[in-house]
Structure 1
């Protein structure tokens, strides 16, 4: 994985301002040969699953923020529905937090990192 801005800056430094699929492929190959970025392994299944949970949690938090903002200007007929939806979103976010904590504490990939972070004084 490479930072796209870094590659684009490299292309500009080489005088390549146009952007096509063919040029992009050439620039990426040239970047790899000259810069030799370190190879990083792809995330394993557990890491991808955790990232998916985190993404979904972020979506739920954004939805909750929208609903809370609408409460201030919502007509009285919609308030009950908004408040029920906010309560549902709160429950889903809490459920995701529990799932994510469980995955962090039981995954070999994350267990050592969590223990290290937990050992830090607060």
Structure 2
């Protein structure tokens, strides 16, 4: 039974390896990213850029996601992106910040100067 489960996991890992995005930068919580997402409108396809702070990372492998938060017109907007999605065309790290938490959900409650993160220089 155990051998059968191990073979199943190996086959699943081989299948996932085909779809992993290999040219990803090292993304950490607290980084400010600029993402280019492919959007189809009718029969035209274009890349829409969005910018925000990574407040959470979840999982690893093929189903890895990041939660990006930005403030638009005074309203906080959060969106979850699949890192290995073929619709994700580009990822650029604009700024890295020093954080002491793995999830920055406290940024939801604060606004103004309280949401500033200290920049990290590597």
Name the TM-score class by shorter chain. Answer: under 0.3
TM-score between both structures, scaled by the size of structure 2: 0.23
Structure whose CA Rg is larger: 1
Higher helix share: 1
TM-score between both structures, scaled by the size of structure 1: 0.23
> Larger relative contact order (C-alpha < 8 A, sep ≥ 6)?
2
